[in-house]
Amino acid sequence: MDQQSHSEAALRDKARAFLPGGSFGNAGADLVIVEGTGGRVRDAAGKEYVDFLLGSGPMLIGHRHPEVMTAVREQLERGTTFFANSAPGILLAEAICEAMPCAEKVRFTSSGSEATLYAMRAMRAFRGRSKILKFEGGYHGMNDYALMSLAPRRRSNGIEPIPDSPGIPEAIREEVLVAPYNDLDAVTAIVEEHHDSLAGVIVEAFQRVIQPRPGFLEGLRALTERHDLPLAFDEVVTGFRLSYGGAQEFYGVVPDLCTVGKVVGGGFPLAGLVGREEIMAQFDQGAAGEEGFLPQIGTLSGNPIAASAGLATLGVLRADEAYARLFDNGRKLMDGLANAMRSAGVEAQVCGEPCVFDIVFTDQPIVDYWSWESGDKSSNARFNAVLREHGVLKGTSKFYVSVAHTQEDIDQTLGAFEAAAAEIARH
């Protein structure tokens, strides 16, 4: 069926008829994207946007990058999937191990949610314990364990996890402990009390758009080492984004395991779990033995097309000036956003790193989930709506910056920031 023959209205009608809520569950049902090039996308009505959604992050080097497109076309001529080892997947595993400080072995999955699920399962298998410690507001995909205290609407009683979704078995609550992000004293107290029952700790080193306080990650690493607990960094967002070696290279703290995704698939469904050989050996029946073996099977894991796109993307990122350009773009945007709000007299915090950041409408510093949650939601919604009216697209809570964004893209966005600041100041 020719998708070009359908108008935007017809496509939206079909979405409402055949998709729950009229969407894939991602960006809003009122948006149908048909094309992306560089740092821009175009919707079904023909409107063009500067794109800071970037497919929720994968398109770090832009849409339809010629090197990625060439690699994908070449692999398409050879075949699309094999359910066996392939050259692109093997070479991508090698590239990841060369890049990430903690990476000695790689096991591919198709999504970040799978990767974090297996990170937790690997820690449980390795330690012979069942409980996982995560952080309030930390996002680790859509598996049951990850959906504990991702976005709680009320404060829990200390370490008590709160399910964020119906359909999660009550028993899961007994297997998850929750700590406040950036509070090393609180984490230490929890670990000191529960380390005998803990399998490990999983954390976004850079949680959503919240930077770690000085010493927090270093203290967390020392604490887990003291109790022989595996530490997993969820780097689905930060891997190859904060730096080529991810958050662990950027912040100088090396975990035992990490998850990768988004950027590493070059816009195709690919993610993975990487880490120390001692723990990753759980996936090797010959090394782990029958009792210790942790099976992990995925029809499309290590898919050769996705791996080819990932290899090409990493090649572009290794080129000179890629990260300098990315961070220069981000700093211009962050500074421009802060200046626009300050000039309009709007209280707001611009938080994050230059490659991924957002604005929170509050006069309080953003250090954890509850300070981020305290922001004025109506101002945030108005801000996003004004940006979209001015041809700037972002998610509800994040700007993803691309190497492909041009000065023209940045200038248009800075103008949209000023319009949004003026609109918010009027209310």
Q: Model confidence at 3, in pLDDT bands (50, 70, 90)?
A: low
Q: Is 242 exposed, middle or buried (0-12, 13-18, 19+ CB in 10 A)?
A: buried
Residue 44 confidence (pLDDT): 92
pLDDT confidence of residue 364: 94
Across the range 281-287, mean pLDDT stands at: 95
Over residues 203-231, the mean pLDDT reads 98
Select from 54, 405, 55, 401 the least CA-distant residue to 242. 401
Is residue 4 scored above 60 in pLDDT?
no
Q: Which residues are catalytic?
A: 139, 234, 262
Arithmetic mean of pLDDT, 273-297: 95
Phi, psi of 379 (to 5 degrees): -65, -40
> 32-46, 156-170, 247-261, 304-318: lowest mean pLDDT where?
156-170
pTM summary value? 0.95
pLDDT digits (tens, 9 = 90+) for 244-283: 999 999 999 999 999 999 999 999 999 999 999 999 999 9
Mean pLDDT of the 222-235 span:
98
Alpha carbons within 13 A on the beta-carbon side of 353? 21
**pLDDT of res. 360:** 98
Matching residue, tokens 């099976």? 295
Residue 148 scores a pLDDT above 90? no
Q: What single-letter amino acid sits at 167?
A: G
Per-residue pLDDT band at 1 (split at 50, 70, 90): very low
Mean pLDDT estimate for the chain: 95
pLDDT on residue 5: 57
Decide: 35 and 20 in contact? Cβ < 8 Å: no
Report the 10 Å Cβ neighbour count for 23. Answer: 16
Question: Which tens digit of pLDDT belongs to each residue from 74-88?
Answer: 999 999 999 999 999
Q: Average pLDDT of 347-368?
A: 97
Average pLDDT over residues 226-252: 98
What digits encode the pLDDT tens for the residues 20-34?
998 888 887 788 999
287: left (phi over 0), alpha (psi -120 to 50) or beta: alpha
Per cent of the chain over pLDDT 70 is 98
* DSSP letter assigned to residue 211: P
Compute the radius of gyration of the chain from its Cα atoms.
22
CA distance 225 to 220: 9
Token pair 């010493």 is found at: 215
Helices and strands of the chain, counted as H and E runs: 14, 14
Domains and CATH numbers, the chain: 31-64+322-425 (3.90.1150.10), 66-317 (3.40.640.10)
Contact 246, 388 (CB under 8 A): no
Task: Give me 203's structure tokens.
Answer: 């954390």
Q: Can you say whether the dihedral through the CA atoms of 415, 421, 422, 423 is positive or negative?
A: positive
pLDDT tens-place string over residues 98-138? 999 999 999 999 999 999 999 999 999 999 999 999 999 99
pLDDT, tens digit (0-9, with 9 covering 90-100), for 360-380:
999 999 999 999 999 999 999
How many angstroms separate the Cα of 100 from the Cα of each of 114, 196, 217? 19, 29, 17
User: What is residue 106's three-state secondary structure?
Assistant: strand
| Residue among 181, 180, 142, 182 at smallest CA distance from 164 | 142
Q: CA-based diameter of the chain, in Å?
A: 67
Determine the straight-line distance between the first and last CA of the chain, rounded to whole angstroms: 47
Which among 49, 75, 77 is positioned nearest to 63, based on CA atoms?
49
Q: What is the model's pLDDT at position 157? A: 59
Least confident stretch, 3-12, 168-177, 393-402, 407-416: 3-12
Share in percent of the chain as helix, strand, coil (round to 5):
45, 15, 40
Q: What is the DSSP letter of 108?
A: E
Q: pLDDT at position 161, please?
A: 86
Other Cβ atoms closer than 10 A to 233? 32
pLDDT over threshold 80, residue 154 = no
Q: How far apart are CA 184 and CA 79, in angstroms?
A: 50
Smallest Cα–Cα separation from 169: which of 150, 151, 143?
A: 143
